[in-house]
Every structure is written in structure tokens, then in C-alpha cells.
A and B are shown apart, each in its own frame.
Chain A
């Protein structure tokens, strides 16, 4: 029987934490792209497209992420392909992140005064031009703090992928616990590593919010 020192445990956890970081980045970037597409459909677009993206957002915000992971894992398998855990994890997390980001960004776009839409329309701009040159540049400033804040939820969301068998930080925690019988130390360390990943994001979101609020008050 091998003995595990504290450093062995920590090293193994840190190695697994790389996958948490990678998965978070993939979900956040992928979710951002899909979320932006949803946003365009949600505020512009035809009536039925608007309804469709609203339904999508409510569906993903109203069901547990764990269920979405299960459905991605078993649902993709229905097409007769062998689904590796990482693929199901990426698909589910991207779709879930997209729903939340689209809703956050919608709030930001709607905070832009209606006159801006009317003014740009009176200049003969089309929907995409209005978004590109008038609305988005202003909405972006409002959107940064809540978007950074939501990235914390994405990092924490990746913990659930351990349940469908993707080996990231949480799964590594369970594996190491089973090998060392030291759940207190191992899960404590896992929590601290998550904290080290998430806390800078939370803090910078708060700081950004304060900074941008100051700019807002000077208007």
C-alpha cells in the first residue's frame, strides 16, 4: 500500500484543476458565442424567433444543470455515437451558459435608452447596424461586471460534470479521497482551489461594478 503525503494529494488535485480551467474557458467562450446569437434573436428578429429564444432561455434557466448534463450524455448517445464525457460536458455547459449570458446581456441592452434606437433608426440604419454602431458599444460597458460575475457560476458549474464521469477537480477529489481515506483534507483542499479560481473573478466583478458606477454618476 502506498502512502500519500499532503503534497501528493495537492499535486494530483492541481493537475486535475487544469481540466476545470479548460472546461470553464470552453463553456464561457462557447456560451458567449451562442449567447450572443440568442441575444440577437431575443431582441430583434421575427416574432416567432423571439418566442423561440425566450422559450430556450426559460427552459435552461428553469431546469437543473445536472439534468441537462444527463440529457446531453444520454441524448447524444441516441444518435448512435459513443459520447465521451467531455463532449457531453462541453455541450451541456455551453448551452446552459448561453442561456444565462443571453438573459444578462438582454438586460444590459434594454438599459440603453429607447431614444438611441429611434435616433439611429432615423439615420437610416438597419437592425444590425444599429446594434453594431450604437447599442452594443454602450451596452458593453454595462455588461462587463455581471458577465465577469457570471463566470464564477460557470467555474462552479463545471463541478457537476464530475457526476457524468469527466475527471476534473471535483472528480479528482473523490478519486483521491477513495485512495487516501482523508475526505476532510481532500475536500477542504478542493474547496480552497475552487475558491482560488473563483474569488479573483468575484472580486474583479465587484471592483468593475464600482468603477463603472462612478463613471455613470458623472454623466
Chain B
């Protein structure tokens, strides 16, 4: 093999890479916050919500979990304009990530809620909590604590999946890598560098979520 690796392009391309990293981070931050919020709302509907809404949410969850993210993205970005709904690439990418994570986190949070004994909910009601208060303090928070590791991995998976948004020209890290390799013709080196950046981002995000879990759910001393 007479191939010589060349990373000389790295310095010139740094601003492009940094911008890509910024967009990817921005996408996952917005996606995670709104996706988990949507997941909580859907989990509430499936646990306690109005009866007519339950099949709607169940269909949404099954549809999203059984189709590729790429197709969801294409449907939102290319398909929805036929209905008169147009949006920028970044908005479409964000929307797709929120919709995707919403379905997965709904399923994860629901599993956590199901593990909560029914009696706790009734105990909450007997303390004169409103149904919402009982759901929030008695059911949801312990459920979130229980499923926090699973939810964290799902958020990391969605972050890695976001590489695909480059396909609708949202200028994330993969888009930056594609752009750079089309200039320097060093495809392999470029993708190695961006893969390592993704790896670092994934490790960082995992640590961050673990720290957040520590802050949100401090271990009770009495146990």
C-alpha cells in the first residue's frame, strides 16, 4: 500500500469544522429538550390522558419507531411542502429529531411509569394532590430517575443519527466533512477526523447527561 496520509488540510478547514460542530451541538440540544418534553407529554397521554388521544399517540409512536430517520427527514423536508408546509433545512432537521426522539422517549418513559405501583398514585391523591401534581411528583420524577440511563443512551443515539441531516443540506458536522473532502480530495482522512469528533461528542454528551442525572435526582440519604 503506497498511500500517504495527509492531514495538512486540517488547519485551513478548522473554521468549517467548528461551524459544523456548533450546528450539530445546537441540533442535539434543541432536539433533546423538546424531544424529551414531547416524550413526557405522550407518556402522560398513554398513562392517564383522554381515551380518544391514546390510539393517536400509539400510532405515532409505532410509526416513528418502525421507519428510518432518513425517511422521516425526507418526508418532512420534501414531502410536507406538497401540503404547503415549507421550512428551512435546519428547522426541518430539528423537527425531525424532536419527532423521532419524542416517540422513543415516550416508550422509555412509559416503561418507567408502568414500574410505578398504582398505590403510589392513589397515595398521592389521598394527600390532596391534584391529578397533575400526583403525576408530576409521584409518578413522573421517580420514573425519570429509573429510566435516566436508557433515556441518555437514546439521546446519544439520536445525536449520532443526526449525521443524516446533511442529506437535506443542513450544515452540520457531516455536511462540513462532505464539503471539506470535496475540496481536498482526502476523503478518508476527512471522515476519520469527523468520526473522531463524533466519538468525542458522544462521550462528552454521555458524561454531561450522567452529570445532569446526578443533579436532577440526588440520591436520597434515607435508603
> A and B from one assembly?
yes
Q: How far is the CA of A62 from the CA of B195 in the complex (A)?
A: 9
Q: Mark B180-196, 1 if CB is under 8 A from A, else 0.
A: 00000001100110110
Q: Which of A31-39, A140-148, A192-200 contacts B (4 or more CB under 8 A)?
A: A192-200
Which listed residue, A59, A77, A159, touches B70 by the CB 8 Å rule? A159
Complex interface: stretch among A105-113, A114-122, A170-178: A170-178
Contacts of A188 in B (CB 8 A): 75, 79
| Chain A: minimal CB distance from B130 (Å) | 34
Interface residues of A (CB under 8 A from B): 59, 62-68, 70-71, 74-75, 77-80, 152, 156-157, 159-160, 162-163, 170, 173-174, 177, 182-184, 187-188, 190-191, 194-195, 198-199, 202
Q: Are A63 and B198 neighbours in the complex by a CB distance under 8 Å?
A: yes
- Tell me if A191 and B67 are in contact (CB < 8 A): yes
Q: How far is the CA of A191 from the CA of B79 in the complex (A)?
A: 12
**B79 contacts A63, CB within 8 Å?**
no
Bound: A65/B196 CA distance, A: 13
CA distance A187 to B69 in the complex (A): 12
Q: Which of A62, A64, A157 contacts B163 (CB 8 A)?
A: A64
**How many angstroms from the CA of A64 to the CA of B198 in the assembled complex?**
7
Please encode chain B, from 203 to 214, with 1 for each CB lying within 8 Å of some chain A CB and 0 for all others: 100000000000
A70 touching B187 in the complex, CB below 8 Å, given contacts A63-B202, A65-B160, A177-B78 = yes
Known contacts A194-B67, A195-B63, A198-B66; is A187 also within 8 Å of B161 by CB?
no
B71 adjacent to chain A (CB < 8 Å): yes
Q: Is B167 an interface residue (CB 8 A)?
A: yes
* Interface contact B65-A67, CB-CB below 8 Å: no
CB-defined contacts of B1 to chain A, threshold 8 Å: 78-80
Jot down 29 A-B pairs with beta carbons below 8 A, ordered by A. A64-B174, A65-B160, A67-B195, A67-B198, A70-B177, A70-B187, A70-B191, A71-B191, A77-B188, A78-B1, A78-B188, A156-B66, A156-B69, A159-B69, A163-B164, A170-B70, A170-B74, A173-B71, A173-B74, A177-B78, A184-B83, A188-B75, A194-B66, A194-B67, A194-B68, A195-B63, A195-B66, A198-B66, A199-B66
**B174 surroundings in chain A (CB, below 8 A):** 64, 66-67
